[in-house]
Structure 1
């Protein structure tokens, strides 16, 4: 990670492509792409198929640093190659900063939230991430209702792990997702912002993070976070919204840029010709880019 890369992430127009489906969500991603579970038998075969899909996206002419600043990878994607190069190196050669999903999934619901499962192997994973020239990381929690203790615990856990990631020389993306269907979403987001601001105030000038948040109910709710000196960038997840819905909501929040997964790949299919595939991904990228810079 260099200062030039940090400046790029802080200031460049564009968005982050989330390509980080893990073992739990990969079957759904493959099914949406047109590959059913009866077309593979082992987890290794499954990840080989999703790597082919990821490689098809990443090698598309439309997937360029002109509109895409970074891409989030799953561990299995980081360890695989595209055109003879490890995925992160391939992205870096295209001018796109690679991130790695580092969490081990979600714990059971308690206090209306799902904390992250303990990351017992985080140190070893961060060492490998550095070996693969990863720029930053991403880790996700889930907020399912208004609960002061639950929301507090989510933010504290995220920042505790973030400090370890920073110590390893990487930029952590903190993602305390608020489910888009919850009651009192506006109230949850107000408390979440308050908890995040407090944790940011505990960081020193050499500890910087990124934030990945659900698009807020009240437009501009996270503007204060965007200008905080400890925040490199604030990005938004699509959270189950269709691409059109997510783009429309994103446009209402000046300075907030996308980090979409399903909304990016929703129209891609395995049986599309290369021309059809490239046209489809180009249209998706263009629309998300426009929403991110509006």
Structure 2
């Protein structure tokens, strides 16, 4: 059994119910962010599912220099703070440099280390030293057993509030696959493990100047991951993915989310 974490009002791990981490890939505007957060809260309240709201204030790793990156740290954190205060739900976002750690930690309940940066020791240690929950996304280039060393960096910094997230492994060019062995391997380190269901169906750089995606496989992979006993599911969602400013091809339409979550909850109840 994994360690139980307290994230605002949400409990994750320790045999608790499956937690949803969800939101639009990037903060598109204050109004859109609040609207998505409210709809997600309504959906999760109806299902009795714990929710952590996720959206990025800066997508620093976009494929093209011309791609929308978000409102930036200051404005983005202000918007996430408003979500947290007005709706009472924990919030999560990515950090990309040591300079972002302190201001982000004043607002965020979970500091997320992007997959491409999971080996950056100084960033991981700086995040850990805040005492906040740190969600480290496993790099597409990393074996699941190599995450033991990442866990060691966080724990050695005096912080055992750790989440590990699987988001697929590079398989040739512009493609990802999910090795289901990752989940029991990473859970064996004693901390909650999350499956990033939407980034795992991404086709990185598959559209030339942006990434493609195969959202039709999100449920299949999610079912398989939940069946291994994971602690949380991570999904980027949008009311209209065709109009999303980031990761639309692999985002789940909000209208389809309740039925999908209900099916995953039923499976989670069997394996929990």
| TM-score with structure 2 setting the length | 0.61
What does residue 115 of structure 2 align with?
A: 141
Q: CA deviation at 1:58?
A: 3.0
What does residue 44 of structure 2 align with?
A: 63
Q: Equivalents in 1 of 2:255, 2:100: separation in Å?
A: 40
Larger Rg: 1
Contact 2:91 2:110 (8 Å CA) reproduced: yes
- Report how many residues are paired: 214
Q: 4+ residue runs of structure 1 moved beyond 6 angstroms?
A: 266-270
Alignment of 1:117-132 (within 5 A): 118-127=97-106, 129=107
> Which of 160, 164, 169 is the aligned partner of 2:125?
160
What does residue 237 of structure 1 align with?
A: 196
1:257–1:220 Cα change, 3 Å? farther
Contact 1:176 1:212 (8 Å CA) reproduced: yes
1:292–1:269 Cα change, 3 Å? farther
1:178–1:291 Cα change, 3 Å? farther
What does residue 12 of structure 2 align with?
A: 9
Alignment of 1:54-203 (within 5 A): 54-59=36-41, 61-64=42-45, 66-75=48-57, 76=75, 78-80=77-79, 86-92=82-88, 96=89, 98-104=90-96, 118-127=97-106, 129=107, 134-142=108-116, 154=119, 156-157=121-122, 159-166=124-131, 170-178=132-140, 188-199=142-153, 202-203=156-157
Contact 1:140 1:175 (8 Å CA) reproduced: yes
> Which of 213, 227, 244 is the aligned partner of 2:166?
213
Q: Equivalents in 1 of 2:123, 2:264: separation in Å?
A: 27
Contact 2:223 2:267 (8 Å CA) reproduced: yes
1:218–1:234 Cα change, 3 Å? same
Q: CA deviation at 1:68?
A: 2.7
What does residue 258 of structure 2 align with?
A: 282
Q: CA deviation at 1:226?
A: 2.3
What does residue 39 of structure 1 align with?
A: none
Give the gaps of 5 or more residues in structure 2.
58-74, 170-177, 202-214, 244-252
Contact 1:236 1:259 (8 Å CA) reproduced: yes
Q: Equivalents in 2 of 1:218, 1:6: separation in Å?
A: 32
Give the gaps of 5 or more residues in structure 1.
27-45, 105-117, 144-152, 180-187, 271-276
Q: Equivalents in 2 of 1:227, 1:10: separation in Å?
A: 13
1:91–1:211 Cα change, 3 Å? farther
1:3–1:201 Cα change, 3 Å? closer
Contact 1:99 1:135 (8 Å CA) reproduced: yes
1:55–1:208 Cα change, 3 Å? closer
C-alpha RMSD over aligned residues: 3.8
Q: Equivalents in 2 of 1:142, 1:279: separation in Å?
A: 31
What does residue 251 of structure 1 align with?
A: 226
Q: CA deviation at 1:49?
A: 5.4
Contact 2:24 2:36 (8 Å CA) reproduced: no
SS at match of 1:138: strand
Contact 2:133 2:163 (8 Å CA) reproduced: yes
| TM-score with structure 1 setting the length | 0.57
1:288–1:47 Cα change, 3 Å? farther
Q: CA deviation at 1:88?
A: 0.7
